[in-house]
């Protein structure tokens, strides 16, 4: 098991399978972004090797993300292969949901039991303003298709003051009517972070106070192993739950258990750090390979920072990390 200098251990790895996305969310990636050449992107067999290494290092949860993971050719087959090879792995996917139509049953059969779908608004026109594409109903239908197929759905909503803070009643209603988790994530100053400013932060506590006026919320105590960064609340009398993820106002660095691998094979030990350790050259080197990668991961992880310290140092001076979230994978 990988342990760092703050006695935190890594049990969760996120792999970005592509830096390409079919949306250009205003807070995430610039429209003029240039993509990596194909040869710089980890091949599926390389990702498989890294996931195998993660298993050896006692990582129990893996998330596949992007860019938009479903935009990569062969992604569903890859998911099936990962599930077949590592059936006991808690395998998750984060997607914008725009390319899911008609795939939910196949995904369930491929072993996907849980999916995170990013959706910041229930207003179709606003969806287009945020993402640059008129695809709200495609995503909304995908949520229903996944639920119908038996896939557990978490909706991730970036909380944006002045953009979606007027939609709390509708978003709560979505979680009240449907057996899903709707989680608000504070807007982070990452990458170009279009329009990030302190005034844009709709904090977790502000959301909770407002939500308590609209619904009867009961805090959920999750078992330690299932606990994530979200504070979860059941909506009494409803089917679903809401959650609050507060990387800015109430950080969870002390229990951070994750590492991120970018689409080009860069290891990132903290979302708020610009430090990236290149795994690809070692992975592709005929004499180094996976053993060298293991050593890089172990050594780099030792120095995994406490992100809130970096945030405190840098916040207010623009982005705290200069790579776009679409390249890191969220």
Closest to ligand SAM by CB, 268 vs 293, is: 268
Query: Which range touches ligand SAM (CB under 6 A), out of 52-60, 65-73, 168-176, 249-257?
Result: 65-73
Per-residue tokens: 264? 């080009």
Looking at the Cβ atoms of 168 and 185, the one nearer to ligand SAM is 185
Token pair for 188: 């982070």
If one counts every other C-beta atom within 10 angstroms of the C-beta of residue 110, the result is: 19
CA-angle at 18, arms to 16 and 19, nearest 5°: 95
Interacting residues with ligand SAM between 80 and 99 (CB under 6 A): 94-96
Per-residue contact track with ligand SAM, 179 to 218, x per CB under 6 A? ------x-xx-x--x-------------------------
**Binding string to ligand SAM for residues 13 to 42, with x set by CB under 6 A, is what?**
--------x-----xx--------------
Instruction: Using CB positions, name the residue nearest to ligand SAM.
Output: 330
DSSP 3: B
Q: Is the CB of 20 or the CB of 280 nearer to ligand SAM?
A: 20
Could you say whether residue 164 binds ligand SAM (CB under 6 A)? no
Q: Are 49 and 283 in contact (CB under 8 A)?
A: yes
Give the count of beta carbons closer than 10 Å to the beta carbon of residue 324.
20
Provide CB contacts within 8 A for 124, sequence distance 6+: 134, 136, 137
91, 135, 168, 325: residue in contact with ligand SAM (rule CB under 6 A): 325
Q: Would you count residue 264 as binding ligand SAM (CB under 6 A)? A: no
Cα 25–Cα 31–Cα 33 angle in degrees, nearest 5: 110
For the window 109-138, what string marks contact with ligand SAM as x by the rule CB under 6 A?
---------x--------------------
CA distance 320 to 322: 7
Give the nearest distance from C-beta 291 to ligand SAM in angstroms: 30
Phi, psi of 241 (to 5 degrees): -135, 160
Interface with ligand SAM, residue 68, by CB under 6 A: yes
Angle at the Cα of 214 from the Cα atoms of 208 and 215, rounded to 5 degrees: 85
Handedness of CA 173, 26, 249, 268 (dihedral sign): positive
**Where along the sequence are the contacts to ligand SAM (CB under 6 A)?**
21, 27-28, 65-66, 68, 94-96, 118, 156, 158, 185, 187-188, 190, 193, 325-326, 329-330
């Amino acid at each position: 098991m990988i342990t760092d200098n703050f006695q935190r251990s890594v049990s969760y790895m996120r792999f970005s399978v592509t830096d390409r996305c079919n949306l250009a969310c205003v807070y995430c990636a610039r429209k003029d972004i240039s993509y990596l050449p194909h040869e710089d992107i980890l091949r599926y067999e390389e990702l498989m090797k890294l996931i195998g290494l993660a298993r050896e290092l006692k990582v129990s949860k893996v998330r596949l993300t992007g860019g938009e993971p479903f935009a990569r050719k062969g992604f569903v087959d890859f998911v099936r292969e990962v599930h077949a090879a590592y059936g006991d792995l808690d395998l998750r996917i984060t997607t914008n949901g725009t390319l899911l139509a008609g795939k939910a049953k196949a995904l369930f059969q491929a072993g996907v039991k849980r999916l995170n779908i990013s959706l910041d608004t229930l207003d179709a026109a606003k969806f287009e303003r945020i993402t640059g594409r008129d695809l709200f109903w495609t995503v909304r239908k995908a949520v229903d298709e996944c639920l119908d197929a038996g896939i557990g759905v978490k909706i991730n909503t970036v909380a944006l003051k002045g953009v979606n803070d007027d939609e709390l009643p509708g978003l709560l209603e979505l979680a009240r009517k449907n057996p899903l988790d709707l989680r608000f994530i504070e807007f982070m100053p990452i990458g170009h972070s279009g329009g990030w400013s302190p005034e844009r932060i709709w904090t977790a506590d502000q959301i909770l106070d407002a939500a308590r006026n609209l619904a009867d919320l009961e805090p959920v105590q999750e078992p330690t192993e299932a606990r994530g960064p979200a504070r979860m609340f059941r909506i009494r009398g409803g089917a679903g739950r809401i959650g609050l993820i507060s990387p800015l106002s109430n950080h969870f660095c002390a229990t951070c258990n994750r590492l991120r691998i970018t689409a080009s094979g860069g290891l990132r030990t903290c979302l708020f750090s610009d430090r990236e350790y290149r795994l690809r050259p070692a992975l592709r080197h005929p004499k180094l390979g996976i053993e060298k990668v293991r050593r890089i991961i172990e050594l780099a992880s030792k120095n995994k920072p406490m992100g809130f310290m970096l945030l405190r140092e840098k916040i207010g001076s623009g982005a705290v990390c200069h790579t776009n979230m679409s390249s890191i994978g969220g």
